[in-house]
Amino acid sequence: MTYSNSDNFHSYPPLFRPIPGVDHGEQYSPNPEFDSDSESDIPVVDLGSSMSPAENLSEICREWGMFRLVNHGVPMELLTQLHEHANKLFSLDFESKQALTTTPIFYFWGSPALTMSGNVQQTGPCADNLNWLEGLNVPLANNSNFEYDDPLLESFRSLLEEYGNHQRRLAKAIFRAMAEDLNFPPSKSKSYLSLSSGFLRVYRYLRCPMSGRRWGIDSHTDSSVLSILHQDQVGGLQVFKNDKWLDVKPIYDTLIVNLGDMMQAMSNDSYISVKHRVRVNKEKERISIGYFVFPVEDAVIKSSRYRPFTYPEFQAAKELDLKTMGVKIGLPRFRITEDD
């Protein structure tokens, strides 16, 4: 793929900017590991149904760990406005976006890790472990108490606040149904989901000439209790099911819900923290908006298969593994073994 001088890459972080007139994809042959086996018809949960979502939610959480949410009550106009504002913000000069280093909207690129410094220390033009993305991180607890002077930022912040309120509502309803299915006592139900911990991530996956060799985000599980995603029509999300990678079809008026590591541990491995990944595209950028929610900070997660731990302890172990080993180990760090 050859880029011309007319292509607008001033908004990209420098490491993602191609050299005009150079075919950056010629030297890279496709990697078969990047292919999916088929397009997935993931299960659907209907919040508008007269039947309780728990009636089919239990099986889905045990077999899939991911589902498509319909009749969720989030206005389509709000979703459209969010994506339009995200496109405008991501289209700003890279240098302008770097100035967004204060609450509530924080800019990052190259890594979706929770602990971020706003950039990635890399050497070389295209490191293998670099994610082809940039994003905006918005802790919802701080979002309502801030006001930007810039009209675009303030409008976006206001839209995110409205969207966050919908996500809290959905997370509460979904978790209530899961807690009932798992017979959580009231104390666990109260401490295992902290709506004040929720934050939004707005991602832009960048055009990549090496789309058969690079990832938007490589295979991973979320560390959250649950995550709720809205994606545009470009596609790229894949889920791992029955030892196969399946494409998750983008349907604009639906949301994608997936369970995270905290929910798997809470359920004593009855529910699945689902592996998923995101492919990049040669021709198109992709926007997605994710909501992530966690337990109360000092809540101790107890089950027969894991040593008791809090989310901050889990997070500290994850970050240490990322720093020392370059990979997330996650739940296996806390799993009870024969030696315990």
Task: Summarize pLDDT for 139-192 with one digit per residue, the tens.
Answer: 998 777 788 888 999 999 999 999 999 999 999 999 999 999 999 999 889 999
DSSP, res 92? S
| Single-letter residue type at 189 | S
Three-class SS state of 236: coil
Integer Cα distance of 133 and 206 in angstroms: 6
Which residues make Cβ contacts (< 8 Å) with residue 252, sequence separation at least 6? Answer: 76, 79, 232, 233
Which residues make Cβ contacts (< 8 Å) with residue 340, sequence separation at least 6? Answer: 307
Phi, psi (degrees; rounded to nearest 5) at 108? -145, 170
Position 257 scores a pLDDT of 97
Integer Cα distance of 291 and 182 in angstroms: 23
pLDDT band at 36 (very low <50, low <70, confident <90, very high): low
CA separation (Å) from 91 to 13, 47, 53? 11, 35, 39
- Does 200 have pLDDT greater than 90? yes
- Does 193 have pLDDT greater than 90? yes
- Does 37 have pLDDT greater than 60? no
Taking alpha carbons only, the member of 135, 273, 260, 119 closest to residue 200 is 135
Cα 62 versus chain centre, distance: 20
Taking alpha carbons only, the member of 242, 261, 257 closest to residue 329 is 261
Position 40 scores a pLDDT of 63
- Does 19 have pLDDT greater than 50? yes
Neighbours of 304 (CB within 10 A): 7
Q: Which residue would you say has higher pLDDT here, 230 or 104?
A: 230
Give the pairing of strands 194-205 and 133-139: antiparallel
Domain formed by 28-303, architecture: Sandwich (2.60)
Q: What is the mean pLDDT of the segment spanning 222-228?
A: 97
Integer Cα distance of 321 and 313 in angstroms: 12
- Report percent pLDDT > 90 for the chain: 64
Phi, psi (degrees; rounded to nearest 5) at 85? -65, -40
Least confident span in 83-87, 142-146, 199-203: 142-146
pLDDT band at 114 (very low <50, low <70, confident <90, very high): very low
Q: What is the mean pLDDT of the segment spanning 43-67?
A: 84
